[in-house]
Structure 1
Amino acid sequence: MTDEPDDVPQLDVPVGMFEDIEDLKAQLARLTALVKQLAGGEDGEPGGPPADEEETAGGQTAEDEEEWQYPPFILLLDPPQYDDELRALIEWVEGVLVPGYLAEPSAEARWCHLWFEHPVAVARLHACWLAWQELTDPATCGYTGPSVWHRDHLDPCLRELRASNGPFSGCTKGEHQVGHRLPGLVPSAWRQED
Structure 2
Amino acid sequence: MADEPEEIVPGLTVPVGMFEDIEDLKAKVAWLTAQLEALTGDSGDETGKASADDEDATAGREGADDEGEEEEWQYPPFILLLDPPQYDDELRALIEWVEGVLVPGYLGEPSPDARWCHLWWEHPVAVARLHAAWLAWQECTDPASCGYTGPSVWHRDHLDPALRELRSSAGPFGGCTKGEHQIGHRLPSLVPSAWTHAEE
| Shift of residue 172, structure 1, vs aligned partner | 1.7
Which residue, 125, 128, 137 being the options, matches 2:133? 128
Matched, 1:62 2:63: no
Q: Deviations over 1:45-77 (max 9, x none)?
A: xxxxxx986565xxx843555631100000000
User: 5+ residue gaps in structure 2?
Assistant: 1-38, 40-55, 184-200
Which residue pairs with 2:15 in the alignment? Answer: none
Deviation at 1:176, TM superposition (A): 3.6
The runs of 5 or more residues in structure 1 that have no matched partner are 1-41, 43-50, 179-194
Corresponding residue of 1:111: 116
Matched, 1:142 2:147: yes
Higher RCO (C-alpha under 8 Å, 6+ residues apart): 2
Work out which of the two has the higher radius of gyration on C-alpha atoms and give 1 or 2.
Answer: 2
1:153 is the counterpart of 2:158: yes
Distance 2:140 2:89 in 1: 22
Residue 54 to residue 130, structure 1, CA distance change in 2 (3 Å): same
Measured in 2, the distance between the counterparts of 1:121 and 1:66 equals 30
Task: State the TM-score, normalizing by the size of structure 2.
Answer: 0.57
- What is the RMSD of the two structures over their aligned residues, measured on CA atoms? 2.5
CA separation in 2, counterparts of 1:165 and 1:53?
Answer: 56
Q: How does 1:26-105 map to 2 (within 5 A)?
A: 54=60, 61-62=65-66, 65=69, 67=71, 68-105=73-110
Q: Runs of 4+ in structure 1 displaced over 6 angstroms? A: none
Given the superposition, is the C-alpha separation of residues 107 and 139 from structure 1 closer, same or farther in structure 2, using an over 3 Å criterion? same
How many percent of aligned residue pairs carry the same amino acid? 82
In structure 2, how many angstroms separate the alpha carbons of the residues matched to 1:143 and 1:74?
Answer: 27
> What count of residue pairs does the alignment treat as equivalent?
126
Aligned partner of 1:148: which letter?
A: V
C-alpha distance in 2 between matches for 1:127 and 1:104:
23
- How many angstroms apart in 1 are the aligned matches of 2:69 and 2:133? 29
